[in-house]
């Protein structure tokens, strides 16, 4: 049996390490669904009865016929699936490297959501009545300050 050449896979610049590597077969990089599928899809549905796998991310969805191998694993055409889900895919044949980059999503301002709305009409507000503070009474002659103040002679330097 001839061993297929393995391919290094990078997702967003990070190498994907798996017990079963991605391989190049017939011009297509095929990889095990687990763990490679988790890096490119947010939802994976495996229908064993029909023999299909559906991968989803956002509004993009890909359904492929997936052959189940003897060990029970599923291999998917990684580059094809990643492109269909909106990823940028680049294969370098010289280094046998497949790079998958998730394009940045533009930022959007969140719409304000207020759960509580005030009832119509004026609201009663509790305001306490001000309390009169007593006026100070004179109780003798003020005393001088008892904290010593250090005075330095400028000519002492």
Q: Is residue 118 part of a domain?
A: no
129 is a domain residue: no
- CB-based burial, 73-91: b 16+ in 10 Å, e otherwise: ebbbbbbebbebbebebeb
In a domain, 64, yes or no: yes
Residue 22 vs residue 3, higher pLDDT: 22
Q: What is the pLDDT of residue 8?
A: 92
Query: Going by C-beta distance under 8 Å and a sequence separation of 6 or more, which residues neighbour residue 129?
Result: none
In this predicted model, what pLDDT tens digit does every residue of 61-73 receive, in sequence order?
999 887 766 666 7
Structurally, how many domains does the chain consist of?
1
Residue 107 maps to a domain: no
Residue 36 lies in a domain: yes
- Domain span including residue 26: 6-101
Evaluate whether residue 38 is within a structural domain: yes
What predicted TM-score, i.e. pTM, was given to this entire model? 0.61
């Amino acid at each position: 049996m001839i061993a297929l050449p393995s391919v290094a896979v990078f997702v967003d610049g990070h190498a994907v390490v798996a017990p079963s590597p991605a391989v190049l077969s017939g011009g297509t990089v095929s990889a095990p669904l687990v763990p490679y599928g988790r890096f490119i899809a947010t939802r994976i549905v495996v229908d064993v009865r029909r023999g299909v796998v559906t991968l989803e991310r956002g509004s993009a969805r890909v359904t492929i016929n997936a052959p189940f191998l003897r060990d029970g694993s599923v291999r998917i055409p990684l580059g094809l699936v990643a492109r269909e889900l909106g990823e940028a895919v680049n294969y370098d044949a010289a280094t046998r490297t497949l790079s998958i980059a998730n394009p940045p999503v533009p930022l959007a301002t969140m719409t304000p959501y207020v759960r509580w709305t005030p009832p119509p009409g004026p609201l009663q507000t509790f305001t306490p009545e001000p309390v009169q503070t007593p006026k100070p009474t004179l109780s003798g002659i003020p005393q001088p300050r008892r904290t010593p103040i250090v005075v330095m002679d400028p000519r002492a330097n």
